[in-house]
Amino acid sequence: PVDTGNMRRSITSELTDGGLSGTTGPHTDYAGYVEYGTRFQAAQPFVKPAFNIQKKVFTNDLERLTK
């Protein structure tokens, strides 16, 4: 869901442990309401679907590298 693009611009990544760990996510106050919905608004997931796609890509890359 994009109205102003503010939430899209708020998504950042931070690497820790020398680049072995990291976190990525939106930093707007309302991102959770959009992802999970409220009693007045249906959920419009955007983080979990993107994570699931990237998880498959990552797994395939690891399998390819370990052959």
Backbone angles phi, psi at 39, to 5 degrees: -70, -15
Is residue 52 one of the residues assigned to a domain? yes
First to last CA, the chain: 39
Domain count, the chain: 1
pLDDT digits over 6-63, tens only? 999 999 999 999 999 999 999 999 999 999 999 999 999 999 999 999 999 999 999 9
Domain for residue 59, yes or no?
A: yes
**Per the domain annotation, does 1 fall within a domain?**
no
Nearest to 3 by CA among 50, 39, 41, 49: 41
CA–CA distance, 33 with 24 (Å, rounded to integer): 17
What type of residue is 62?
L
Residue 19: inside a domain, yes or no? Answer: yes
Segments forming the whole domain that contains residue 48:
6-65
pTM of the model: 0.75
Q: What one-character-per-residue DSSP string does 45-63 give? A: --HHHHHHHHHHHHHHHHH
Residue 35 counted as domain residue: yes
